[in-house]
C-alpha cells in the first residue's frame, strides 16, 4: 500500500517538480513556454534545413543551432525540408520536421541544438546516486509480540514475559526503486539505447544515461524522498 501511495504522489507532483527546476533557468522556462504555446504556419518545399532554421529563429526568438555532425550522417538532399502546416503548435511543427530526418532537439545553455538522434542517444555518462536513505527499514506497526511465561511451565503462576520483536521491513525495496525510475524516466531509451544501464547494490544506484535522463532521475529521487 505504501508503494502505491508513493507512486500516486510522484505522478501527482511530477509537474510541480519540473516547473521548480525550470524556474532555476529562466531561459529554459522561456523556451519551454514558447514551444508549448506559440503557433506557427510553415510552407517549405525542398528547402535547405538552414533556411528553415533561420526562419524559425527569426519568428520565435529562440536560439537554434544545427550540430555540424548531422552533415556526416545525412546528405544535402536528405536535409532538405518539405513541410506545410497551418496554425500548429511550435513543438508539434518542430517534431514533424525533425522526426522525418531522424533528428531531435536538445536544450543546452539557452540554445535548442538540433542533433542526429543517434548522437543524442549515445551521449551518455555514468552517475552514482546514494539511495540508502530510501531503503531504510521500519518496525512494523503491530509492535513486539508478547507471551506470558511461568517459571517451570504447567499450572504454576505466571512469573514473566517473552518479547519477540518483528523483523524490520523495508518501506521501499531495491526492485521498486529501479522499476519506478525506468518506468518514469527516459521514455524508451532504456530499451533502445545500448549504452543505457541501471543497477542498484548496497544502496548505490549506478546509472549510465544521457544528461537529460539524469536530470529526470534526480527529480524522481527527490520526489521519492519527499513522499516516502
pLDDT > 90 in the chain, percent: 33
Give 2-30 pLDDT, tens digit per residue. Answer: 444 444 444 444 444 444 444 567 888 89
Note the pTM of the prediction, 2 decimals.
0.50
Give 129-180 pLDDT, tens digit per residue. Answer: 999 888 865 444 555 555 555 555 555 555 555 555 555 554 567 888 889 8
CA distance 196 to 190: 6
Ranges of each domain in the chain: 2-20+123-136+171-227, 38-120, 137-169
C-alpha cell at 72: 556526416
C-alpha cell at 208: 549510465
Q: For the domain bounded by 38-120, which CATH number is listed?
A: 3.55.50.30
Q: Phi and psi of 222, rounded to 5°?
A: -60, -40
CA distance 46 to 43: 10
Say whether domain 2-20+123-136+171-227 belongs to CATH 3.40.50. Answer: no
Give 171-224 pLDDT, tens digit per residue. Answer: 567 888 889 899 999 888 888 777 788 999 888 999 988 888 999 999 989 888
Amino acid at each position: 500500500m505504501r508503494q502505491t501511495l508513493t507512486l500516486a504522489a510522484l505522478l501527482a507532483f511530477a509537474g510541480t517538480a519540473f516547473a521548480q527546476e525550470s524556474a532555476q533557468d529562466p531561459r529554459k522556462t522561456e523556451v519551454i513556454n514558447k514551444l508549448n504555446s506559440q503557433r506557427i504556419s510553415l510552407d517549405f518545399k525542398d528547402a535547405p534545413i538552414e533556411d528553415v532554421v533561420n526562419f524559425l529563429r527569426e519568428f520565435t526568438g529562440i536560439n537554434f543551432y544545427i550540430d555540424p555532425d548531422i552533415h556526416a550522417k545525412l546528405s544535402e538532399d536528405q536535409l532538405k525540408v518539405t513541410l506545410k502546416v497551418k496554425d500548429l503548435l511550435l513543438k508539434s511543427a518542430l517534431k514533424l520536421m525533425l522526426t522525418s530526418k531522424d533528428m531531435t532537439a536538445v536544450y543546452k545553455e539557452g540554445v535548442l541544438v538540433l542533433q542526429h538522434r543517434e548522437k543524442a542517444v549515445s551521449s551518455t555518462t555514468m552517475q552514482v546516486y546514494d539511495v540508502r536513505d530510501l531503503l531504510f527499514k521500519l518496525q512494523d506497526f503491530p509492535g513486539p509480540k508478547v507471551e506470558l511465561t511461568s517459571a517451570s511451565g504447567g499450572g504454576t503462576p505466571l512469573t514473566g514475559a517473552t518479547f519477540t520483536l518483528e523483523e524490520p521491513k523495508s518501506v521501499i525495496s531495491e526492485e521498486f526503486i529501479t522499476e519506478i525510475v525506468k518506468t518514469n524516466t527516459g521514455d524508451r531509451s532504456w530499451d533502445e539505447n545500448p549504452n543505457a544501464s541501471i543497477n542498484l547494490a548496497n544502496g548505490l544506484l549506478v546509472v549510465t544515461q544521457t544528461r537529460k535522463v539524469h536530470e529526470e532521475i534526480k527529480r524522481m529521487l527527490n520526489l521519492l524522498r519527499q513522499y516516502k
